[in-house]
Structure 1
């Protein structure tokens, strides 16, 4: 099994793209988080370009796109955009591209639906179910005060997604230039995350489904409070087992790499360890927030704590589904988890 091999020390700068395979270009855009960048991709599409993921809706990201499209990629028009999933760093500018370039969005139905739904969300409509969800997870008053800001964070980071899209489904082949790209849908990180594999080029755009150094966030979110996304994620890893050993993985964060089978094994092992840690934290009844504090010992900012509680809940729900934990509710309406 080939170990992880990173191929690029140089990173694309603001107005530059690096060709990582024939007709496949890597660009990098800023993010206003601790994870401060996202990788985006431009594919040679014959008489035009196809872009894969758009970046977040910020003026500096729009300016960098303008620089690229009027510079290195000015010779041909952008023909379409593909979004791997609904998170704002991936679809944030889809509406802007539709308005400015008149191009179609290609996306899976579940991801497009989530993007449209969350963009239309308001504090007034979401306050009841968000408050209930995070209270049941064990948030104290200090964290509950962050919920109004959190409820509008997604809408503020994306332009309104197009009202229609071209639907992608698992197993579809999309012709882009001289090559077919097969859609491989992964789950767990998001509802119908689309990865794109080109057998001719031995390249896969993995989005957030397979990252080289960090584990994709696998979380319970208020919109689906009884889910078991970890079971979905671990199950979907098997879909990538048949990829060739030497496939070049193009992730949304970090740098391109080879060694996908080694990385798939690492991801499964990571969650095995986290499940064991979670189980051991539940020797007596504890809330999800108490489990969070045991799993994440470093200081978390207000953005990270919502991802961390989602991760803690995902591991608790998975253990509960396997019959390894039992859930009760205390007199304050907080869920508690304990070993049987």
Structure 2
């Protein structure tokens, strides 16, 4: 794997990364402190690929871009690769302001729209049951409950109308045809875009350099197997050339996709071995998490670490490497089969 020799842009200042494609980097208030977006020059109009977090700082940057780089030609399409707030945060306001067509996969649109509208008591109650089953300390359960539906704070209302993207669809961007390859695991139906003619892959969060995409279990589907889906999904990129330029949503563009995919598969195989070793004696999910992530975690990182731990535990439950048992209090224990 090799980093592409392109200077990282200043936050909010787009730079050309390929013919007709601009790289826009925005700040995030998390440990992973940035997200990469892509602005596509379609000749007579623009396509925006992802929109950043729906906070005031990002909205101000879009104000500047609409008055600057994007001024004079319409924004015809807004494409959200997946529902996560750093990708879908501003699609509502941008679609409303520009009249653009919203492009998403159906599952990502449904998930985003459901979450941004959810004010139900069951949202918090399900989170508490999830945390209890993982054996989180009571003070953490209370803190996480008080956050409520944190998703709604960082994402605009999701438009009711959209155009569905699905695997195999072809889309013209910057005068070139791109094919949709759907990734799973990190999110349910993530859109990535491959141009064989350009030898270019817009990879979203499916394949990242130097870090592994977060693959996690969430309270809405506690028995899910996202890691199995993620590992199976990587095989869909076998026909993308190893020397293709990959535009990821975090870190920097790179080449060596097939090598990177092998590294990701090996990483998760090693984490599965470590998870199995952590379950030699019956263990709670929080105990396994501490063994896999032996460092201080803030509230944001805790959610990802716990979800990632459960993804590896659930993968081993599905493959019958470990057995899950639940006690009378609703706490889950995991032991090697």
TM tier, shorter chain?
over 0.9
Counterpart secondary structure, 1:145: helix
Aligned residue number for residue 130 of structure 2 = 133
Q: Gaps spanning 5+ residues in structure 1: where?
A: none
Aligned residue number for residue 317 of structure 1 = 314
The 8 Å contact of residues 49 and 81 in structure 2, kept in 1 or not, is answered as yes
Q: Does 1:193 align with 2:190?
A: yes
Correspondence 1:243-322 to 2 at 5 A: 243-322=240-319
Alpha-carbon distance in 1 for matches of 2:12, 2:290: 41
The 8 Å contact of residues 46 and 176 in structure 1, kept in 2 or not, is answered as no
The 8 Å contact of residues 14 and 64 in structure 1, kept in 2 or not, is answered as no
Quote how far apart the aligned CAs of 1:156 are.
0.4
Q: What TM-score do you get using the length of structure 1 for normalisation?
A: 0.96
Q: Gaps spanning 5+ residues in structure 2: where?
A: none
Alpha-carbon distance in 2 for matches of 1:70, 1:15: 13
Alpha-carbon distance in 2 for matches of 1:235, 1:150: 34
Correspondence 1:1-340 to 2 at 5 A: 4-8=1-5, 10-122=7-119, 124-340=121-337
Q: 1:198 to 1:171 in 2, by over 3 A?
A: same
Quote how far apart the aligned CAs of 1:75 are.
3.9
The 8 Å contact of residues 19 and 174 in structure 2, kept in 1 or not, is answered as no
Counterpart secondary structure, 2:243: coil
The 8 Å contact of residues 8 and 255 in structure 1, kept in 2 or not, is answered as no
Alpha-carbon distance in 2 for matches of 1:50, 1:296: 39
Quote how far apart the aligned CAs of 1:145 are.
1.2
Alpha-carbon distance in 2 for matches of 1:106, 1:160: 15
The 8 Å contact of residues 21 and 201 in structure 1, kept in 2 or not, is answered as no
The 8 Å contact of residues 16 and 72 in structure 1, kept in 2 or not, is answered as no
The 8 Å contact of residues 185 and 194 in structure 1, kept in 2 or not, is answered as yes
Q: What TM-score do you get using the length of structure 2 for normalisation?
A: 0.97
Moved more, 194-203 or 311-320: 194-203
Counterpart secondary structure, 2:283: coil
The 8 Å contact of residues 85 and 193 in structure 1, kept in 2 or not, is answered as yes
The 8 Å contact of residues 22 and 201 in structure 1, kept in 2 or not, is answered as no
Alpha-carbon distance in 1 for matches of 2:174, 2:320: 50
Alpha-carbon distance in 2 for matches of 1:279, 1:118: 33
Instruction: Please give the root-mean-square deviation of Cα atoms over the aligned residues, in Å.
Output: 1.2
Quote how far apart the aligned CAs of 1:284 are.
0.9
Moved more, 286-295 or 196-205: 196-205
The 8 Å contact of residues 171 and 183 in structure 1, kept in 2 or not, is answered as yes
For residues 63-122 of structure 1, the C-alpha deviation after alignment (integer angstroms, 9 at most, x for no partner) is 112222322332422111101000000000000101111111100000000001110122
For residues 14-63 of structure 1, the C-alpha deviation after alignment (integer angstroms, 9 at most, x for no partner) is 44211111111101111111111100001111201101000010111111
For residues 203-237 of structure 1, the C-alpha deviation after alignment (integer angstroms, 9 at most, x for no partner) is 11111000001100111111111111110000000
For residues 168-198 of structure 1, the C-alpha deviation after alignment (integer angstroms, 9 at most, x for no partner) is 0000001224111110001011110000111
Q: 1:316 to 1:15 in 2, by over 3 A?
A: closer
